[in-house]
Structure 1
Amino acid sequence: MLASAELAWRGATGQAGLVVRKLSSDGRVRTSVDELRTVLDGLRGANILTVDIDHARRRIEELPWVKSATIQRRLPDTLHVSLVERQPLALAEADSGRLVLIDEDGQVVNMTDLRPFANLPTVAGEGAQRHAGDLLALIRSEPALYERVSGARRVGDRRWNVWIDGRVEVRLPEEGAAEAWHKLARIQAGDGLLDKAVVALDMRALGGIVVRPDPRIAGDDKEGA
């Protein structure tokens, strides 16, 4: 009797138009329509009141760019998907030595073609993925410097060495990295230190910067303060 009642109820809701006929979404930037259709098209024609939206949500959250998703029933016939997508942050050197794309949480975004993200900084070293978000927030605080950052290496999972133009290594301190970065920005704005014949700047020295000149131009490889 219960089975018969359920069949009758399903039939009545179908006749009332309470079946999935339309799919809509918001928050979609990098997730393609085809990717969503792969997950959701199989729900068309299903009873909108009984369709398993939790299962559909979990499948959508398996898509590469989707950080989280919610699905709403909009009666009589529409399922609406709201997406929160991952934001590409940097390219990271994985254990195998290959590069992977990471998001703002340091999580790997499963992309095979990294060419569209070649302009992002590259991070490497122990703990680099975990701390990349903090580093990017720091270097972005000085836009003129950020535009020239080509990569960074985390040293001993304690501090960062940042590369400018792929040429000048800026060694940031473990403590006071933000102050050192702002100091470098002021010095660069004043006398263009990064544009001179230098290959490394050690910002860890108290009260100053240790400058290593380019030995090909300076004639030696001694460090100066």
Structure 2
Amino acid sequence: MACFKKTYCLFKCYVFQYYQWLPFALKTTLFFVIGMGSVLYTVYFPSSLHRLLCCVGFSVQEIFVEGRKRTDLSGIKRALNLIPQKSLFSLDLPKILNTIERMPWVRSAVIERILPNRVYIRLCEKDPIAVWIGPEQKQYLIDKEGTIIVALNPKDTVKWNKLLKIMGANAPSNVLDLQRALSLLHIKTIHRAVFLRSGRWDVYVDHTLCVKLPEGEVTFGLQRFLALRHKIPKNVKVIDLRSGDSVLMEFDKNGPLPNKEQRDKKEKNEEV
């Protein structure tokens, strides 16, 4: 190694000693020949160039992935297509970024080279807010933009059982308004909702009580329901809030209807 360094130093001194005496035209020609030779070598022998870059320390050694919670790590590795002795400059970053952003859980991503041998990837993942029960009772995770993240297997449904379950062809694109209203009013007893063709929601409280909300007024309808909730008899199965002036109730036919004495007793207890 010491012998190689000594030979290199002697060669460099020899070249520069005679280079300074060359005419300007010859210097320009020499630079042009060396430059064109480098370009042609890069074009026709790219693999050799990347092997050379790897030899001088520019091979990919470390990959940093930030923001990953649910994205498949093996999918990221496949997108990078790393092979032994692959240089950092051989990575097609736009192509890799496009592949990563098409992965199910990824909303957006950033990829950068960090010299001399690192690749940095930052992910922004999608957050599921509901489970959409689509055609043939197949279930899908939905994000806040109403797009499908992934289809759920029967084994995965238990994992996402606490999410709001929605039905209806246009339910995914309208679920954000409903979810915002539920969060704003701190309602945690609604676990299922159906979006109808008329453009409104039927929500189910404690899986049994159906509340028909007015069209385009999700928050207002839920506020009315909260104000009336303590006055609703237990054997009511449907509450219709579509009219702003009245409240219609449908009682369970299998349950006992409240008689006048029960209603008077209940109102008296409420007054006390």
Q: TM-score range by the shorter chain?
A: 0.7 to 0.9
Question: Cα gap change, 1:44/1:215 in structure 2, threshold over 3 Å: closer, same or farther?
Answer: farther
Cα distance in 2 for residues equivalent to 1:12 and 1:38: 24
* Contact 2:108/2:125 (<8 A) preserved: yes
Number of corresponding residues? 215
CA deviations on 1:35-64 (whole Å, 9 max, x unpaired) are 433433626642212311122222222322
Q: Which residue of 2 aligns with 1:161?
A: 202
Unaligned runs of 5+ in 1: 221-225
Q: Which aligned pairs between 1:63-212 and structure 2 lie closer than 5 A?
A: 63-111=103-151, 112=153, 113-143=156-186, 145=187, 147-188=188-229, 191=230, 193=232, 196-212=234-250
* Contact 1:162/1:170 (<8 A) preserved: yes
Cα distance in 1 for residues equivalent to 2:51 and 2:221: 70
- Give the C-alpha shift of residue 171 in structure 1: 0.3
Structure 2 counterpart of 1:4, from 23, 41, 53: 41
Question: Cα gap change, 1:19/1:157 in structure 2, threshold over 3 Å: closer, same or farther?
Answer: farther
Cα distance in 2 for residues equivalent to 1:186 and 1:213: 19
* Contact 1:90/1:123 (<8 A) preserved: yes
* Contact 2:235/2:257 (<8 A) preserved: no
* Contact 1:28/1:85 (<8 A) preserved: yes
Cα distance in 2 for residues equivalent to 1:121 and 1:5: 56
Q: Which residue of 2 aligns with 1:223?
A: none
Question: What's the C-alpha RMSD, in Å, of the aligned pairs?
Answer: 2.4
TM-score by length of 1: 0.83
CA deviations on 1:60-85 (whole Å, 9 max, x unpaired) are 22322112211111111111111111
Question: Quick one: which amino acid aligns to residue 40 of structure 2?
Answer: A
Q: Taking every aligned residue pair, what percent have the same amino acid on both sides?
A: 22
* Contact 1:21/1:44 (<8 A) preserved: no
Greater RCO, 1 or 2 (C-alpha within 8 Å, sep 6+): 1
- Give the C-alpha shift of residue 9 in structure 1: 5.5
- Give the C-alpha shift of residue 127 in structure 1: 1.0
Cα distance in 2 for residues equivalent to 1:43 and 1:89: 38
Max radius of gyration: which structure? 2
Question: Quick one: which amino acid aligns to residue 211 of structure 1?
Answer: M
- Between structures 1 and 2, the one with greater strand share: 1
- Give the C-alpha shift of residue 14 in structure 1: 2.8
Cα distance in 2 for residues equivalent to 1:169 and 1:55: 49
* Contact 1:126/1:157 (<8 A) preserved: no
Question: Cα gap change, 1:44/1:202 in structure 2, threshold over 3 Å: closer, same or farther?
Answer: farther
- Give the C-alpha shift of residue 192 in structure 1: 6.2
* Contact 1:101/1:114 (<8 A) preserved: no
* Contact 1:128/1:157 (<8 A) preserved: no
- Give the C-alpha shift of residue 176 in structure 1: 2.6
Unaligned runs of 5+ in 2: 1-36, 259-272
Question: Quick one: which amino acid aligns to residue 167 of structure 1?
Answer: T
**SS at 2:90 equivalent:** coil
Cα distance in 1 for residues equivalent to 2:215 and 2:71: 38
- Between structures 1 and 2, the one with greater helix share: 2
